[in-house]
A and B are shown apart, each in its own frame.
Chain A
Amino acid sequence: MNYDAIVIGAGNGGLISALRLQKMGKKVLLLDAFNMPGGVATSFVRGRFEFEVSLHELCQYGTKENKGTVKKLFEQLGVDDKIEMVPLNETFHVLTLDDKLEYTFPIGINEFTTKMEEYVPKCRESIEKLFKLCEECEEALKYLEEHKEIDEKELKEKYPNFLVVSSYSVDKVFKALKIPKKAQEILASYWVYLGSPMSELSFVHYMMMVYSYIKNQPAIPRGRSHEISLVLLEEFEKLGGNYKFLSPVTEIIVSDNKAKGVVVNNEQKYYAKVVISNISPNVTYGKLIKQSELPKRAKQLVNARTLGARGVCVYLGLNKSVEELGLKNYSYFIYHTLNSDKEFERMKHLKGDNLVGVVLNNALNDASSKGTTILYLTSLMFSDVFDEVVTKENYFDLKNALAENMIEIFEQATGKNIRDAIEEIEIATPLTFAHYTNHPDGVIYGYMAKKLDNLLPRMMNMQNEDYIKGLFFAGGFGPRLSGYSSTYLSGDMAAKKALNYLKEEEK
């Protein structure tokens, strides 16, 4: 059977790639090993609760008046009006275990700045400077995306400050802007979302995310991320797209350095000019392609990179309302200290000490039945420490011990009792994520964002890294890194690359 394009994996990236290509009139086959769309962008039901698997908030979404890039993408693809998005009214809320510090921030650049000044007197000037710089960076990135050939003079004239900061880490730029140390640390609160400390993360990448959270209201879908995945798949189907579930790809057929198709379940072959992989390059290159057909450089690229965060997630259905529990906020970033470099080191160990809590009912008041609350706790690990410790024999106990520790940390930080209200509990570990995504070590953040594997170098070298013709990558391991908005956008980038390639092939 012949297609224009085959998309492996119906995760965020794969769904967008498939839908974009189908919308452009291509004949697309979308494959997934499970029988649900979304990968980990889905939900599951336990008792009277429906739990989100992985989405905390969708950034770059915004509102009708203030559209973010993801909202614009959804509009282009004709799905925006089919998904009910609920805007969030806070950016972040951070607590420290050691010094018992607590900060909460509203949406909006002015509101945020004012709040920061309350916490850190005399910081206004530097914070305003920071947001000005963010605005310039945002425009510069837009310019770079829209122009294939960069006019150096124009870039220098229009975006001089962007050029200055483009190769620096967050902490260096914060210092240069003379932001008071305390404000620097508070601004670093989001670092776990990208999974590298301030000394490693590129300023542009990190602050583009933070800026977007503050400027464009983040949002969540009413029906959990499953609603988005479901709507994307239905739209794809409506346009005539083919999908096959329970169909694990066991080989990508490559010859003469060109992708030719895939083998499903070791038997069924499907042919196409383009293959888009929404799975990790490790598995794509290391397992699915005959090693004799694999360019040396593909191996070198994968071997040059470091896997990003692994995680443990605890999903809690509580039999008390948010009022009864005393939980006022949506997100709870909980660290020992606000020093991201220190905390990053701490999180190479298997203690689950730092975590992000999300109280879903504080964004969707009917997220669960009256008098109940949904709480998620996520704790990241920046090494393969779980892999080292886990065995067949200790797995169930280890899972519970980690969850118990996370619940205790959350209780300690907030001073609230959670344990006695647990009606439903589910725990996901790197093994769980490995099961559902097939990612090496169950990693959930793709590759670590550090030095030359930050956003800008990835994006700028993107065209040079398609080592096999007709094979493109979508998803969290891609040029835009991990996270919901990034993977949606990377899926679209992969589709556009594929369209160009198909056009050239036709000639």
Chain B
Amino acid sequence: MKVGLNSNLDMLKFKNLAKEREKAIDSSFIDPIKYEYKVNKLVEVFHPKKIRVVVDKIKQETIDTKTFILKSKDKEELPPFKAGQYIVLDVKLNQVVYKRPYSISSSIKDTTKYEITIKRVRNGLISNYMLNEVKEGMEFIIHGPFGEFNYQPLRDKENILALVGGSGITPIMSMARSIKDKALDCNLTILYGEKSEKELIFKKELDELNKNCDQISVNYVLSEEESNIYETGLIDKSLIMKYDIGAYSYFVCGPTMFYHHLNNIFKELDIPNKYIRHDFYKNEEPMLKHEEHYLTVITDDKEIKIPCYEDETLMEAMEKNGIEAPQKCLIGVCGFCRSKLINGKVKTDVDYVRVSDKNHNYIHPCVSYPLSDVTIKLCK
């Protein structure tokens, strides 16, 4: 065979490839190397490793709910975020750093501050600390913003029906405020379920939005109080069916039970997954025994053995014992706490583990409860 590139200098040409390359390097310049572009600098803006913030102001919202207005200690502005995203707050208590995810409740238009709104949880270590001890001027480290509980026009209907249980109102509040500020463009109907009227967070502002903003409408559903003005009972199938169910994307935010309850209704109503977005938080322990097991954690070439009860997650046990494990969302979704189960048995209800991780025994400790003595290896 012969290729019609006629040349007797083939060998030379071939050998010269390296020489020519050397020559090209010779004639290149010695200026400093450019290793950073605008996008690299914007990474720092959008995804800083951590942010130092100051509690600029504290607002009492209800008898056991407060809003904390956080401002950056070092910069004018905090990272831009999408309505519905959360930050992780580091709370140092008794030499242990507790990490807690909180949805941002303020508008995306104003990034000079993030507002987080925290409700007291009975016996909740962190919520009680936040409500009782934290004063204006105190400093914290936060991480984020993170999360995918956002309006996405390429996917969602332009009409959102937000189904809210209790303090699940916070990310929805961010959406509502952003719509009012014309920074977000969709129609938002909120069904806000709470025990009683006085426990409704942001009630005054929501009433105003309901009255003055064409794109927002708000309805309260009170579960433990009779009312002539508001809906009463639970957010249930008959209530949802009052709406044109095919016209909405559903944004569900509330405690785990609320989320399961609504999922059953969606199934009955045949609402496609595509139109259901959810964010949730754990507010009650699952029905498990308070039996004691031992958890061995392999990290940084050390093995640490700690007690771990059957009704607490591996993450909670590590946290109590001062073991710093990677964590973010605490509901099993983000995968940041991904760890290898070396031995033992765990129970989990939430399943966002990758296929091959599952095959290789990786778990998300933030939603894993021990059923026996357990050994895990942290990925850090």
Contacts and interface: CB of A to CB of B under 8 A. Distances in A.
Interface stretch (B27-35, B195-203, B233-241, B252-260): B27-35
Interface string B333-360: 0011010000000000000111111011
Contacts of A390: 38-39, 42
Contacts of A461: 17-18, 21-22
B46 to A, nearest CB: 7
Interface in B233-269: none
Contacts of B40: 434, 438, 440-442
Interface stretch (A113-121, A329-337, A347-355, A416-424): A416-424
B33 A50 contact: no
A122 B152 CA distance: 51
A170 B189 CA distance: 59
A163 B13 CA distance: 8
A131 to B, nearest CB: 11
A226 interface: yes
B7 to A, nearest CB: 7
A423 B274 contact: yes
A223 B33 CA distance: 38
Interface string B1-40: 1111101001101101110111011111111111111111
Contacts of B38: 387-388, 390
Interface in B32-66: 32-40, 42-43, 45-47
Interface string A302-340: 111000000000000001000000000000000000000
Contact of A282 (B5, B34, B272, B357): B34
A172 interface: yes
A287 interface: yes
A145 interface: no
A13 to B, nearest CB: 18
Contacts of A102: none
B137 interface: no
B20 A395 contact: no
Interface stretch (A16-24, A41-49, A192-200): A41-49
A224 interface: yes
B99 interface: no
A280 B37 CA distance: 14
Contacts of B28: 300-301, 303-304
Interface stretch (A181-189, A269-277, A399-407, A497-505): A399-407
Given A45-B352, A461-B22, A168 B5 contact: yes
Interface string A413-445: 000000101111110011100110010111000
A285 interface: yes
B143 interface: no
A392 B31 contact: no
Contact of B14 (A44, A163, A234, A452): A163
A280 B40 CA distance: 13
Given A286-B32, A396-B82, A461-B18, A47 B338 contact: no
Nearest to A393: B80
Interface residues of B, number: 63
Q: Count chain B CB atoms within 10 A of each CB in A234, A301, A421, A458 and give the residue with the most.
A: A301
Given A226-B354, A461-B22, A392 B42 contact: yes
B37 A224 contact: no
B379 interface: yes
Interface of A is mostly: helix
A66 interface: no
Contact of B4 (A178, A221, A384): A178
Interface in A428-481: 429-431, 434-435, 438, 440-442, 452-453, 456-458, 460-461, 464
Contacts of A221: 356
Contacts of B45: 392
A304 B25 contact: yes
A129 interface: yes
Contacts of A386: 39
A355 to B, nearest CB: 16
B272 A425 contact: no
Given A35-B338, A226-B357, A435-B43, A423 B1 contact: no
A431 B33 contact: no
A167 B274 contact: no
A36 interface: yes
Pick the most buried of B2, B152, B274: most chain A CB atoms within 10 A of its CB. Answer: B274
Interface residues of A, number: 94
A453 B21 CA distance: 8
B37 A441 contact: yes
B39 A319 contact: no
B273 interface: yes
A155 to B, nearest CB: 8
A14 to B, nearest CB: 16
Contacts of A440: 34-37, 40
Nearest to B358: A223
Contacts of B90: none
Interface string B209-230: 0000000000000000000000
B380 interface: yes
B18 A165 contact: no
A342 interface: no
A505 to B, nearest CB: 26
A242 B155 CA distance: 43
B37 A132 contact: no
A244 interface: yes
A311 to B, nearest CB: 12
Interface stretch (A86-94, A252-260, A291-299, A486-494): A291-299
Interface in B130-174: 148, 152-155
Contacts of B359: 223
A215 B65 CA distance: 66
Contacts of B43: 431, 434-435
Contacts of A26: none
Given A35-B379, A223-B355, A400-B154, A161 B39 contact: no
B307 interface: no
A438 B39 CA distance: 10
A230 interface: yes
B316 to A, nearest CB: 20
Given A161-B1, A168-B5, A223-B359, A50 B354 contact: yes
Contacts of B24: 304, 452
A263 interface: no
A69 interface: no
11 contacts: A133-B3, A176-B5, A178-B4, A287-B35, A390-B42, A395-B42, A395-B80, A424-B155, A438-B40, A452-B17, A456-B17
Q: Which 9 A-B pairs have the closest CB atoms?
A: A223-B356, A286-B33, A286-B35, A304-B28, A227-B356, A441-B37, A423-B274, A460-B18, A163-B10
Given A47-B273, A440-B34, 11 more contacts: A165-B3, A165-B5, A222-B355, A226-B356, A302-B33, A319-B274, A390-B38, A390-B42, A392-B46, A396-B82, A441-B39
